[in-house]
Amino acid sequence: MRRRTFVGTVGSGAALGLAGCLTREGDGDQRGSEHNGDGADGTLTVATYKSMIDGDNPAGPWLKDAFEAAHPDAELEWTQLPTHGINHYIDRAQQNVGIEADVYLGANVDDLVIVDDTLADGGLFREVDRDRLERADRIRDGLDMGDPHDRVLPYDTGYICLVYDESLVDEPDTLEALTEPAYEDALLTQNARNSDPGQAFLLWTIDAFGEDGYLEFWRDLDDNGIRVLEDWDQAYNGAYMKGERSMIVSYSTDQVFANDDGYDFTRHQIAFPNGQGYANPEGMAIFEDAANVDLAYDFFDFVLSNEAQAEIAQRNVQFPAVEEEHVDLDPEFDQYAHVPPEAVTVGYDRLRGNLDGWIEGWEKEFVTH
């Protein structure tokens, strides 16, 4: 997801248009819909999160079938990330134990910060050699993570926002409004230690109120009845969809889900307080000791192809990483996936050396152990 222009500096903003025609392969893609089939062979092991490979119409099985069809001498093998995510691989690196994966699919800027705060700078993953990629130049400006070691290539991006029930509460114009009586016992969020949207919301408040002011803002939220649950699934599919609260920290593509499932949009309204949403790109990286680096680069190029970008975006319900002329989405996706007027993020440089302390300070006060 990387930010840099877009996610490069705290408070930077961009509204990214996604309309256009689905060019798929062959129109603006030099390799064509069948690809050339001349890449590396062998088995590529890709570590990724559960929802990429399991659930309702995930992108992973499609990627496996399509990649193997384009590379007949290759096999794509998925492995689900362990419970502790990136920390599992950091621990193995510290113990000099081999990592049985070639590629990490789903890396965020905070993952890189955790790696560099724990291991030597530039550890765990290889620097991406963009000269080995035909399609790296089609990635949209502003998605760079600001990694000084250039280890991650973005493949999609999303925005954290608020989702609310318009029959119960009005749209909050600002973050400060969430501390007012109108939103008492209204808001659900997720544990910033365990959840991407939960962490994004915490960092959003740090961007808005500063390192010296965010905990005070959270105390006001706590006094107003904010509820913190362990992860997004528990908060959204559990408490929010059961009607326990009227507002939740979630994704700006929520109405895509709601439309697909035939839900009443009353409970699926999108709010961008302060005209903002928190940008959360996802990236792919090659482990330093990868066994099949050549095939990893073939996979990277494939993921950035027109068809793969469309499938990932629509199945993951996220925005593509490539420029809009390379991919178009179903009209309903364009209609219901919302982009904030301003995208904000806390970038690598500011996170470095601070992220864990910010989360620890927040945990001590607002997470019940």
Per domain, the residue ranges of the chain are: 4-158+280-338, 159-276+352-366
Domain spanning 159-276+352-366: which superfamily?
Answer: Periplasmic binding protein-like II (3.40.190.10)
DSSP 325-364: GG----HHHHHH----SEEE---HHHHTTTHHHHHHHHHH
pLDDT in tens, 212-256: 999 999 999 999 999 999 999 999 999 999 999 999 999 999 999
| Alpha-carbon span 328 to 29, nearest angstrom | 14
pLDDT per residue rounded down to tens, the chain (369 residues) = 322 222 323 333 333 333 333 333 344 444 333 344 456 889 999 999 999 999 888 999 999 999 999 999 999 999 999 888 899 999 999 999 999 999 999 999 999 999 999 998 999 999 999 999 999 999 988 888 999 999 999 999 999 999 999 999 999 999 999 999 999 999 999 999 989 999 999 999 999 999 999 999 999 999 999 999 999 999 999 999 999 999 999 999 999 999 999 999 999 999 999 999 999 999 999 999 999 999 999 999 999 999 999 999 999 999 999 988 888 888 999 899 999 999 999 999 999 999 999 999 999 999 865
Joined together, the tokens standing for residue 12 give 């930077």
Task: Give the C-alpha distances (Å, rounded to integers) separating 7 from 33, 137, 145.
Answer: 32, 18, 7
125-150: burial string, b at 16+ Cβ within 10 Å, e else: bbebeeeebebbebbbebbbbbbebb
Instruction: Please report where in the chains the tokens 């600001």 appear, as a residue.
Output: 146
Domain at 4-158+280-338, CATH class: alpha beta
| pTM, to two decimals | 0.84
| Alpha-carbon span 39 to 298, nearest angstrom | 6
| Alpha-carbon span 296 to 292, nearest angstrom | 6
Q: Do domains 4-158+280-338 and 159-276+352-366 have the same CATH topology?
A: yes
Instruction: Give the torsion sign (CA, 53, 191, 351, 317).
Output: positive
Task: Give the C-alpha distances (Å, rounded to integers) separating 291 from 209, 244, 275.
Answer: 45, 48, 45
- Give which of 173, 170, 123 is closest to 151, Cα–Cα: 123
Residue 133 contacts residue 139 (beta carbons within 8 Å): no
Instruction: Please report where in the chains the tokens 């949209």 appear, as a residue.
Output: 140
